[in-house]
Each structure stands twice: as C-alpha cells, then as structure tokens.
Amino acid sequence: MAPSRTGDSPIRDYPIPPPKVTYDINVPYVPPSGEYERRIQDRTEFPEYLPVWEEGTWFDECPVSDYDDPALRADKTKPHLLTEGVEARPITPKMGTILTGVKLENLGPEAKDELALLTSERKVVVLREQSGFLHSGPAYQVEFMEHFGKLSHQPVTGAVKGFPQFHIIHRDGNGDEIANFFKHKTTSTIWHHDVSYERQPPGYIMLGILACPDVGGDTVVADMAEAYNRLSPAFQGMVNQMQAVHTSEKLIAHARANKGLIRSDPIDTVHPVIRVHPVTGQRAIFTNMEWPKSYLGLKEEEAQVVIKYLMDHVRMGHDFQARVHWEKHSVVMFDGRTTLHTATVDYDHAEQARHLFRLAAMTEVPISVAEAEKRGL
C-alpha cells in the first residue's frame, strides 16, 4: 500500500520503531555526552574510574591455557588471611562471609591463596573498609587480581583509561533512561554469570564499589551448587548430560545497534549445564539468562521447558540466595563457577550514583560431571 499524503508530507501506515532499549540497564554501551561528563566529574570520589571507550583496541578470542588454581595451594586454616583482629561474619548459614579488619593492599601471596579458598568455599566474600585498596590505583588492582588468573577483557563497555581489563558500571542521573527501560520491561533483573561465553570463564571476580546509593542498588547472589542439590536424582541425571552454547553475539549486536565501540568478534562456546568445582568438588548449575542461546542433548521444545524450570528455580530460591548490601569503600570477591548474580535497580536514579568496577580472573575450562568422574573429583 502506498503511503497517503497531506501536501508533500508522507504519513506512514506502519508504526515508528520505539526507542532502543538495552537489555541490561546497568551497562552503558556508548560514552556519555560532554555536558554529562563534565557534571559527573564533580560527583565522584574516583573520577579516574569513569568509563572511557578507547579506539584502536581489539581483542582476539583467548586461547585455552593451563590453569593453576591458587585455592589448591592454600592452608585450609587460613592463618595469613584470618589474622588477629579480623572478624568473619556469615551472610547466610551456607553462603557469604563479611570480613572486617582485612586490608587487601597488605595481603601477601599466601593470604591471596587463602582468599581464593575462602571465596571457593563461601562463594561470596565482602570486604569492608577498603579505601586504601580502592585508592591504590588501577595498575595495582590489575596486578592484585592477576594472582588469581588471566584477566578477561569486556568487548563493548567502558574501561579505565589504559587498562582494558576493567569493566566499569556507572549510572548517575539517568532517570529518563531508567523510565524508558521500564516502559518496555517489567524488571531489570538478569541472573547471569559474567562473560560465560569465554572458553575459560571467570572463576574469581572482584567488584569494587566507587559510589553507591544510601539505600538500594544491591547485588543478589544465588548459590548454584545448592540449587543443584535441591533437584531430584532423576532430574540431576538428565541435566548432567546437557550442554549449552554460550555466545556474546547479543551483547555485540546491542552495542552495534547503539553505535557503540566494539572490540571483539562474537564468541560461541559449548559448556556443560552442570559443572564441577575443582577446589570444592561441588556440582553447580552453569546456565543463565544472558549468554546461552541453545542447548545440546535435548530437542528444542524440551530444552525450553527444562531451562525455564531451572531459571524459575533460581528466581524463587530465596533460601539459597544472599543479598550483598553495598557500603562505601567495599570490595566483593565472588566465585563465578558456583554462583549467579543480578543487580537491583531500585534506588533514586536521579539523585544518587551507582559506580563500580569489575576485574574477572579466568580459571579452568568448565569440568563436566562425566569428566569429573573420570578424574575422580
């Protein structure tokens, strides 16, 4: 049908596409405008950590390499980490520990090994009062995290200038963007593993809070080993055999649609849906709402039912979740192998900022149940 006309102005007989909506409102895909950038410089304690998009950087897919887990070297009693004056308080009985009295910048190699072990055992370690570490600068923080493994590079979002290992999340005064997002979405919740499309996905992940709301903006973590344990033996037997194709193609496509900077080609990797932790021996559900695009081992309709059930299981599993309340100058270490996490967009977006960095150390190629049984894990 030809468009009708009034004078010389065509009137379309099909709807105008709605404004672009990113699938993860926590992640900026393009640099802020100059006016915005000038304003937020005065609103942050850490202006050097505001995100930048540096041209001329390209990341090829990481080749598979051997991995030496620092937790396997650690003294199980953790004498170098849990020294006199350190308090360890559980977040929940089975998951999460809050440490006070630890200064990350003072940890030696043995204490870092013990931190890796505690992170593997408790899955989330919250370290309060880390002003010294956060002010130590990006070079020191990169070196610190390289103790735990080779660091990943995020392909589309902003980083620290000169340090592409950083993934920066920064939201300040973006109330209109949030409002537009919720015109199209009912929730901002995305239960995910960080960059699970990598061949060796991150196992030790650090989040450093640079600015946080007085109330809200928490991170919620789910214990995927306990989620697996809650399944019946018959259901476990089925999902033990499944594999998923994890991909970064959606992330790359969103950045391209928003005319953002792209620094790598999409990556597709096949991982087991159930993986075995090499330190604890725990089996954990390793699928999420963000990166898997297809599942092997089941027909398409069967896989849709199974994966919806697993994600509903996580969403409703408040008795195997922990809520991390951000406080000024906190740092969190968490285990990417046995947890899922999501941010919560529930704070005053117009008046308060949520600013944090992520450094993610890649560990082993995920170990399937069948492979673990062969190895005797």
The CA distances from residue 208 to 15, 126, 246, in Å, are 43, 10, 26
pLDDT the model gives residue 113: 98
- The residues of the chain scoring below 70 in pLDDT are 1-21, 29-42, 349-350
Q: What is the pTM of this model?
A: 0.91
Q: What is the pLDDT of residue 64?
A: 94
What b/e string do you get for 185-206 counting C-beta neighbours within 10 Å, with b at 16 or more? Answer: eeebebbbbbbbbbbbbbbbbb
Tokens of 31: 């640099």
Pairing mode, strands 97-100 and 124-127 = parallel
| CA 368/CA 84 separation, integer angstroms | 40
Length of the chain: 377
Per-residue pLDDT at 1: 38
Phi/psi at 71 (5° precision): -65, -30
Q: Give the domains, in start order, of the chain with CATH numbers.
A: 25-375 (3.60.130.10)
Q: Which tokens is 181 given?
A: 């997002």
Instruction: Indicate the Cα dihedral angle 124, 106, 159, 24, nearest 10°.
Output: 10
Q: State residue 256's pLDDT score.
A: 87
151-202 pLDDT per residue, tens:
999 899 899 999 999 999 988 877 788 888 888 889 889 999 999 999 999 9
Q: What is the pLDDT of residue 42?
A: 67
CB neighbour list of residue 337: distance below 8 Å, 6 or more residues apart: 120, 201, 203, 275, 277, 284, 286, 363, 366
What pLDDT, on a 0 to 100 scale, did the predictor assign at position 15?
38
In tens, the pLDDT along 304-348 reads 999 999 999 999 999 999 999 999 999 999 999 999 999 998 887
Placement of tokens 């005319």 in the chain: 259
